A and B are shown apart, each in its own frame.
Chain A
Amino acid sequence: GAGVSQSPRYKVAKRGQDVALRCDPISGHVSLFWYQQALGQGPEFLTYFQNEAQLDKSGLPSDRFFAERPEGSVSTLKIQRTQQEDSAVYLCASSFLTSQGNTIYFGEGSWLTVV
């Protein structure tokens, strides 16, 4: 596709349930990012991949959060034993190059509500 694609767009999970959020970056993009955006807040960095390598996971809030990009294209963000505070929009973004200053393209986000 032409842009970053995320699925599902909307997810309602019961507290304690595991969820998996998928991101299809723009074809050929080397860098992939995950961000978390709580209601009324700016996006906050979660993790970064360069191809299949996870180079930075400093933003993952707990060990319940796990991300992978095994073949250097599609990525999955998994949240185990979801809690209410995990309710947020999860944004995926990608860029073609790895050097600073590149244009980063965002998907429309996966809206997670934990009840």
Chain B
Amino acid sequence: AQSVTQLDSQVPVFEEAPVELRCNYSSSVSVYLFWYVQYPNQGLQLLLKYLSGSTLVKGINGFEAEFNKSQTSFHLRKPSVHISDTAEYFCAVTSGGTDKLIFGTGTRLQVFP
């Protein structure tokens, strides 16, 4: 069965600093990978997704992620964060020919001025 691990439950960072949110997945078959962001009291919004091709994926709001098959990772990065990036970030995976998303437990990014 697929699973997603987000090792960091909280990541505090100062504004304009770089940030990396870690995600590892477990699957024996090919997968599609996603990062979603959830602002307070709102639904989930897609940041980016990896389906195939280039392992470096660029998303909205200046975020990017790199698919690493050998390490089964899909870490999310941003070179310079803003206060408005404060939110919960979820890594997710689908496989097996369906769109059923399996989510990690989330990482809360807290950006301080």
Query: 27 A-B residue contacts at CB 8 Å?
Result: A31-B99, A33-B99, A41-B105, A42-B90, A42-B103, A42-B104, A42-B106, A43-B44, A43-B90, A43-B101, A43-B103, A44-B103, A45-B100, A45-B101, A56-B98, A95-B99, A99-B97, A100-B97, A101-B32, A101-B94, A103-B46, A104-B101, A105-B46, A106-B36, A106-B44, A108-B42, A108-B43
How far, in angstroms, from A44 to B44 measured CA to CA in the complex?
Answer: 13
Chain B residue nearest in CB terms to A111: B41
Cβ of A41 and Cβ of B100 under 8 Å apart?
A: no
Q: Flag whether A107 is at the interface (Cβ < 8 A).
A: yes
Task: State the interface size on chain B (CB cutoff 8 A).
Answer: 26
Q: Verify if B61 is at the interface (C-beta below 8 Å from A).
A: no
Report how far A88 CA is from B74 CA in the complex, Å. Answer: 28
> With A43-B90, A91-B44 given, is the CB distance from A100 to B98 under 8 Å?
yes
CB < 8 Å neighbour of A106 from B4, B32, B43, B99:
B43
- Residues on B with C-beta less than 8 A from A44 are 103
Point out residues on A near B: beta carbons under 8 Å.
4, 31, 33, 35, 40-45, 48, 56, 91, 93, 95, 98-109
On whether the beta carbons of B43 and A107 are closer than 8 Å, the reply is yes
18 new A-B contacts at CB < 8 Å, known A40-B106, A106-B43: A31-B99, A33-B99, A33-B100, A33-B101, A42-B90, A42-B103, A43-B103, A45-B100, A91-B43, A93-B44, A95-B99, A100-B95, A100-B98, A104-B46, A104-B101, A106-B36, A108-B42, A108-B43
CB distance from B50 to the nearest CB of A (A): 9
> What is the interface of chain B, defined by CB distance below 8 A to chain A?
4, 32, 36, 41-46, 49, 51, 90, 92, 94-106
Closest chain-A Cβ to B87's Cβ sits at a distance in Å of 14
Q: Which residues of A contact B46 (CB under 8 A)?
A: 103-105
What A residues does B104 contact at CB under 8 A?
A: 42
How far, in whole Å, are A42 and B108 apart by their CA atoms in the complex? 11
Return B27 CB to nearest CB of chain A, in Å. 13
- Contact yes or no, B43 A4, CB < 8 A: yes
A31-B99 Cα distance, complex, nearest whole Å: 9
